Amino acid sequence: MESQIPLLSIRGIRKSFSGVPALTDGCLELDRGEIHALCGGNGAGKSTLLKILMGFLQPDAGVIRIDGAPLHFSGPKDALDRGIAIVQQELSSILDLTVAENIFLGAEPRRFGFVDFARLNREAAELLRIVGCDTAPTAKMRHLRVASRQLVEIAKALSHRSASILILDEPTSAIGEHDVTRLFETVRGLAARGTGIIYVTHRLGEVFEIAHRYTVLKDGATVASGEVAASTPEQLVEQMVGMPVEREFAARSKPGSAVLLEVSGLSHSPHFEDIGFTVQAGEVLGIYGRSGSGRTEILDAMYGLTRPASGRVSVAGRVLCGEGPAESLGAGLAYVTEDRKRNGLVLCASTGDNLSMSILPRVQRWGFVDTRRRDGFIHAAIARMRIHPSDPRPAVRYLSGGNQQKVALGRSTACDPRVLLLDEPTRGVDIAAKTQIYRFIAEFTAAGGGVLLVTSDLDEILGLSDRILVLRGGRIACAFSSQGATQRSLLLAAD
């Protein structure tokens, strides 16, 4: 992998927005055939650096070199022309088009002025073979699982024939452990072909499983880099946050005997059938399953976002009548959804407005909002959830992913729920924010609340749960106690 001239060299990149620095000294080197992990907490400057590398932003200072030649990108096309492609965390598939049409969207091969579909499908099939995806090029994207869509996005990036640098931004955030193994095989295969890969992830285990070298950004500057094999997870965490961080899950008390949530006979074909379980006071019940097993659909039905065909949900003895989220929230059931940006937050609204949405009826007086009471609640929630910055006025869209998630949690708990439904609560957040979310869960259950936790992170579900249900094909395949479950047993039960 070593060479005298690196494939990519980024030196001294600086970028400010309205006088506020986002990058002060961004540096990175990438060799051919190397998998290079770009690490850092939310707000460290990773996204800004990648946007500059892709030509979406112009740097205020610094230089980018490819094969030793300094370059200036006036736009994304310049970056693509020089062989830099990205697979973003938020997948951009057009679901009603075929796989091949998505791969070559905007660059379809033509013959006599018309799209040459035979060539389109043939070349797409070759790219799919390279990335290890066995999906037919003529299949509609909406029929693919998330993991397969991720591989199609990689094939799309490689459709630019000159692509020698591939950026993968949180590529495993929406897929399960089984599909992660398949994705890693693809990434290693691309590196073996000489592609240089920048791999961005918040999951430290992935850094040590797949990356050769790493670079750490903190507060807009590169603060560390080196060989992964010569480092440890503890050292990497300390470099990312600037101090030692306790990575163990917060200790929790044993669950009580009172049943807070009871689900029986819940069915909604073809997503899930005959789902039944209970959650006790002080308990975290984990649900694990592969993508497509019905995990999120069950939570949606319980909360009233969809109407199941049959079944019953009760909260602290109160049976829900299927009248929607307002009824669920009134009964003490709150939901933090998997996609906080699309379903959990109003991105254009302020932090304060997002936090106070659920409690506005409680802070009204004579039909008007009592701003003093509302503001008092907002500042208390910001302090309790440790949201940064503490100013409630900026729009939520400007917060880091970890702080956005803490706002979503704070809003969902504003009405003092008895039970929390948490769907992938730490997806896309950094280590420090994860630790704070884990402590929040421990404090919530210690106060007598119950949590239903859906996560694809095996370490997380094993570290947080008192019991674990494994879903397979929309049904509960088996149940484990926290002491009786292992990563291997969960994976085997889910397949």
User: pLDDT tens, 158-185?
Assistant: 887 678 999 998 888 766 666 788 889 8
User: At 343, which amino acid appears?
Assistant: N
In a domain? residue 400:
no
Point out the domain boundary residue: 215, 241, 267. 241
Mean residue pLDDT of the chain comes to: 87
For 13, the token pair is 């990149």
Question: For residue 155, which of 195, 117, 115 has the smallest C-alpha distance?
Answer: 195
Whole-angstrom distance, CA of residue 208 vs CA of residue 320: 46
Whole-angstrom distance, CA of residue 472 vs CA of residue 272: 9
Same domain? For 293 and 441 the reply is yes
**Can you say whether the dihedral through the CA atoms of 59, 64, 69, 71 is positive or negative?**
negative
Point out the domain boundary residue: 187, 215, 241. 241
Q: Which residues pair with 364 in a beta bridge?
A: 369
DSSP 8-state code for residue 320: P
Same domain? For 231 and 267 the reply is no
Same domain? For 152 and 208 the reply is yes
Same domain? For 166 and 200 the reply is yes
Helix 117-130 with 146-158: angle, nearest 10 deg: 110
Whole-angstrom distance, CA of residue 455 vs CA of residue 428: 12
In a domain? residue 379:
no
In a domain? residue 457:
yes
Whether residue 76 is preceded by a cis peptide bond, meaning omega within 30 degrees of 0, is no
Q: Which residues pair with 206 in a beta bridge?
A: none
Same domain? For 101 and 200 the reply is yes
Q: What is the pLDDT of residue 68?
A: 93
Q: What is the pLDDT of residue 482?
A: 81
In a domain? residue 386:
no
For 283, the token pair is 């308990």
Convert the pLDDT of each residue in 352-366 to its tens digit.
889 888 777 777 777
Whole-angstrom distance, CA of residue 34 vs CA of residue 6: 10
Q: Read off the pLDDT of each residue in 85-103 and give the average, rounded to a whole number.
A: 84
Same domain? For 125 and 226 the reply is yes
Same domain? For 191 and 303 the reply is no
In a domain? residue 471:
yes
Strands 165-169 and 114-115: unpaired
| Model confidence band, residue 346 (pLDDT cutoffs 50, 70, 90) | confident
| Model confidence band, residue 246 (pLDDT cutoffs 50, 70, 90) | low
| Model confidence band, residue 373 (pLDDT cutoffs 50, 70, 90) | confident
Convert the pLDDT of each residue in 59-84 to its tens digit.
999 999 999 999 989 998 899 889 89
User: At 493, which amino acid appears?
Assistant: A
Q: What is the pLDDT of residue 251?
A: 66
Same domain? For 168 and 283 the reply is no
pTM given for the model? 0.69
Same domain? For 268 and 159 the reply is no
In a domain? residue 92:
yes
Q: Which residues pair with 217 in a beta bridge?
A: 222
Whole-angstrom distance, CA of residue 327 vs CA of residue 78: 52
Residue at token pair 């991720």: 150
Question: For residue 328, which of 295, 299, 362, 304 has the smallest C-alpha distance?
Answer: 304
Convert the pLDDT of each residue in 280-301 to its tens digit.
999 999 999 887 789 999 999 9
Whole-angstrom distance, CA of residue 474 vs CA of residue 273: 6
* Contacting residues for 363 by C-beta, under 8 A, at least 6 apart: 356, 369, 370, 373, 374, 377
For 312, the token pair is 């019953």
Same domain? For 192 and 328 the reply is no
In a domain? residue 48:
yes
Point out the domain boundary residue: 241, 274, 308. 241
Same domain? For 449 and 322 the reply is yes
For residue 135, count other CB atoms closer than 10 A to its CB.
20
For 242, the token pair is 């600037």
In a domain? residue 71:
yes
Decide: helix, strand or coil at residue 9.
strand
- Whether the Cβ atoms of residue 67 and residue 39 lie closer than 8 Å to each other: no
Which residues span the domain enclosing 479?
Answer: 259-332+415-494
> What CATH number is given to the structural domain containing 290?
3.40.50.300
Same domain? For 269 and 139 the reply is no
Count of domains in the chain? 2
Question: For residue 363, which of 355, 375, 351, 353 has the smallest C-alpha distance?
Answer: 375
